[in-house]
């Protein structure tokens, strides 16, 4: 009898395990666990029926009951035969973590309540009490884990993910605490980086993020134990310093020095706005508003006019030394076309600078490629096509030339959108780039190349008109043709020469 009872008890324990897996998978166990569940359920049913019939002396061999055992074994065999499913991670979180302890606690309480009305075995009472103790311990562990998660979430909510400094929310909380429970004089230092946007545009966002993290670490070290440091977002930082913890002027000077970095192609500095509380402001909005105004006053006072001419002259000198033919060969005609198209003011200045420097990217290409005595193959053509992107990177290193860099990048975009590097089309291409593209194409056709001779003025103009609407802006081509005709009437031999004069 004991042996016959052991089988269904073991079956039920295994079946409980399988049902637990079903619950952990959100009741989507898959084919393998589903077949295991069917097989174990069949075994449990067969063993329970056998026990019941055997105790009554009613079991007979060869009945339908005998088929349940091999059928259940076949179901489990099919489960083992199926290919392994994709491994998934089961996260013990949410309601599923609490369902089993709650169910066992209710069962234990039911057993103890039943014992108040009917005598029950002492072992049942002991097991019920043990179940409650385990449930209480499990709930205590869950509560402790939740407290840890809450603390971690609170830290994350008040910490900047990139730099590890406290964030704007933490600053607002600290300032409000200071306003509500004044603990003496303190200074709020608000910082904004100068030149960071140019650095980010020139070197890319990953490099910009690395610079912010590096400067944040230096700011933290500069302030030290004198106060707390924050990143408010973007390139804005803040420091909160108590008078009793250190000299705010010294801390401010150290922080400004820490938030500065200079390299061969960039110069990042910082502007600062300083407010003493409670002397100058007594509420959070007033403190930050005054600090912000002083910050931008400092930024306006320290801002210097970009040295456009110096940057341009250096690049033109490099072009002249490397390849004299590349220097300013489109300047005059591009200016003339721009004037007839209504380009004035800063837009004309951008056009002129772009015409002067549109070939600067070719400085990075080998002479053997630029002076190849043959038509270029596909790989070489792809390398040549990189010169506009290279030119943009070179020019963008000088903050004053960032607008010119964007124009230079687009000087080989086609009107129909099949150009490079961005596939811009129609009026989506900057006007200055469209003008330079037409002028440069005419110059290339009317100049000798190592692998071909120059075409005539008439043939070049005919080719421009043929490609108007596909390769070139039609309106720019027509204006260019008019400028060319005027130059011919004025007895200028070629627009290439006119450009130099």
Question: Does residue 306 register a pLDDT over 70?
Answer: no
Q: How far is residue 201 from each of residues 161, 305, 316, 413, measured CA to CA in Å?
A: 22, 19, 22, 21
User: Residue 5's pLDDT is what?
Assistant: 84
Q: Where are the domains of the chain?
A: 1-90, 92-157, 168-302, 308-500
> How do beta strands 186-194 and 236-242 pair?
antiparallel
Task: List the 261-262 sheet strands across, edge first.
Answer: 227-233, 236-242, 186-194, 267-277, 261-262
Residues whose CB is less than 8 angstroms from the CB of residue 125 and which lie 6 or more positions away in sequence, other chains included: 111, 112, 115
Can you tell me the mean pLDDT for 180-199? 87
Are the C-beta atoms of 284 and 174 separated by less than 8 Å?
Answer: no
Question: Does residue 23 register a pLDDT over 80?
Answer: no
Percent of the chain whose predicted confidence (pLDDT) is above 70: 84
Can you tell me the mean pLDDT for 9-30? 83
User: Which of 153-157, 221-225, 382-386, 391-395 has the weakest average pLDDT?
Assistant: 382-386
User: Residue 413's pLDDT is what?
Assistant: 95
User: Residue 19's pLDDT is what?
Assistant: 84
Can you tell me the mean pLDDT for 211-240? 92
The pLDDT-based confidence of 209 (bands split at 50, 70, 90) is: very high
Which tokens in the block code for residue 425? Answer: 């089309």
Are the C-beta atoms of 436 and 410 separated by less than 8 Å?
Answer: no
User: Which of 186-190, 193-197, 295-299, 372-376 has the weakest average pLDDT?
Assistant: 372-376
CATH number of 168-302: 3.30.70.270
User: Which of 87-91, 170-174, 187-191, 198-202 has the weakest average pLDDT?
Assistant: 87-91
Question: Where does 129-233 show beta strands of DSSP type E?
Answer: 186-194, 227-233
DSSP 456: P
Handedness of CA 486, 491, 496, 501 (dihedral sign): negative
Put residue 234 in one of left, alpha, beta given phi > 0 → left and psi -120 to 50 → alpha.
Answer: left
Are the C-beta atoms of 221 and 209 separated by less than 8 Å?
Answer: no
Q: For 270, phi and psi rounded to 5 degrees? A: -140, 150
Question: Does residue 501 register a pLDDT over 50?
Answer: no
Can you tell me the mean pLDDT for 6-12? 89
Across 89-98, 253-262, 329-338, 356-365, which has the greatest mean pLDDT? 253-262
Q: Nearest CA to 394 among 376, 410, 380, 408? A: 408
User: Which of 104-113, 290-299, 484-493 has the weakest average pLDDT?
Assistant: 484-493
The pLDDT-based confidence of 78 (bands split at 50, 70, 90) is: very high
DSSP 473: -
User: Which of 23-32, 87-96, 118-127 has the weakest average pLDDT?
Assistant: 87-96
User: Residue 446's pLDDT is what?
Assistant: 87
Are the C-beta atoms of 307 and 313 separated by less than 8 Å?
Answer: no
For 250-280, the pLDDT digits (tens) are 888 889 889 988 876 788 889 999 998 888 8
Average pLDDT, the chain: 83
User: Which of 87-91, 369-373, 460-464 has the weakest average pLDDT?
Assistant: 369-373
Examine residue 278 and say whether the peptide bond preceding it is cis (omega within 30 degrees of 0). Answer: yes
Number of other residues whose CB lies within 10 A of the CB of residue 181: 7
Question: Does residue 498 register a pLDDT over 50?
Answer: no
Question: Does residue 399 register a pLDDT over 50?
Answer: yes
The pLDDT-based confidence of 358 (bands split at 50, 70, 90) is: confident
Q: Domain 308-500: what homologous superfamily?
A: Hypothetical protein af1432 (1.10.3210.10)
pTM over 0.75: no
User: Residue 33's pLDDT is what?
Assistant: 87
Say how far apart CA 33 and CA 40 lie, in whole Å. Answer: 10
Question: Does residue 91 register a pLDDT over 90?
Answer: no
User: Residue 319's pLDDT is what?
Assistant: 62
Residue with tokens 């801002």: 303
Question: Does residue 348 register a pLDDT over 90?
Answer: no
Can you tell me the mean pLDDT for 126-139? 91
Handedness of CA 96, 101, 106, 111 (dihedral sign): positive
């Amino acid at each position: 009898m004991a042996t016959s009872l052991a089988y269904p008890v073991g079956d039920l324990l295994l079946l409980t395990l399988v049902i637990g897996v079903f619950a952990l998978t959100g009741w989507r166990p898959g084919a393998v666990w589903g077949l295991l569940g069917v097989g174990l359920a069949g075994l449990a049913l067969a063993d329970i029926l056998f026990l019941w019939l055997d105790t009554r002396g009613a079991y007979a061999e060869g009945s339908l009951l005998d088929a349940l055992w091999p059928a259940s074994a076949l179901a489990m065999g099919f489960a083992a035969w199926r290919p392994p499913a994709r491994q998934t991670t089961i996260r013990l979180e949410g309601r599923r973590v609490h369902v089993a302890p709650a169910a066992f606690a209710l069962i234990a309480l039911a057993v103890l309540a039943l014992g108040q009305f009917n005598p029950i075995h002492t072992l049942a009472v002991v097991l019920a009490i043990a179940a409650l103790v385990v449930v209480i311990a499990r709930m205590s562990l869950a509560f402790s884990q939740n407290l840890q998660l809450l603390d971690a979430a609170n830290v994350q909510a008040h910490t900047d993910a990139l730099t590890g400094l406290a964030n704007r929310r933490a600053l607002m909380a600290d300032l409000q605490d200071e306003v509500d429970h004044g603990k003496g004089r303190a200074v709020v230092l608000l910082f904004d980086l100068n030149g960071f946007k140019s650095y980010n545009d020139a070197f890319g966002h990953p490099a910009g993020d690395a610079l912010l993290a590096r400067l944040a670490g230096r700011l933290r070290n500069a302030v030290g134990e004198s106060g707390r440091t924050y990143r408010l977002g973007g390139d804005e930082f803040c420091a909160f310093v108590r008078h009793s913890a250190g000299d705010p002027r010294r801390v401010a000077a150290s922080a400004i020095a820490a938030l500065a970095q200079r390299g061969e192609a960039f110069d990042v500095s910082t502007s600062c706005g300083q407010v003493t509380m409670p002397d100058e402001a007594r509420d959070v909005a007033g403190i930050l508003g005054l600090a912000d105004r002083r910050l931008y006053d400092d930024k306006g006072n320290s801002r210097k006019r970009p040295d456009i001419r110096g940057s341009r002259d250096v690049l033109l000198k490099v072009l002249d030394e490397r390849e004299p033919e590349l220097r300013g060969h489109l300047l005059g005609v591009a200016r003339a076309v721009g004037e007839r198209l209504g380009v004035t003011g800063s837009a004309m200045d951008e056009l002129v600078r772009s015409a002067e420097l549109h070939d600067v990217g070719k400085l990075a290409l080998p002479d053997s490629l630029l002076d190849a005595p043959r038509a270029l193959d596909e790989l070489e053509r792809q390398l040549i096509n990189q010169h506009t992107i290279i030119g943009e990177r070179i020019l963008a290193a000088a903050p004053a030339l960032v607008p010119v860099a964007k124009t230079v990048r687009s000087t080989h975009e086609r009107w129909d959108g099949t150009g490079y590097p961005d596939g811009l089309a129609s009026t989506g291409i900057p006007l200055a780039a469209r003008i330079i593209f037409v002028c440069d194409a005419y110059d290339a056709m009317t100049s000798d190349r190592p692998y071909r001779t120059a075409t005539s003025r008439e043939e070049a103009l005919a080719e421009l008109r043929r490609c108007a609407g596909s390769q070139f802006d039609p309106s720019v081509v027509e204006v260019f043709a008019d400028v060319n005709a005027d130059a011919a009437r004025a007895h200028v031999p070629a627009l290439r020469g006119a450009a130099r004069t």
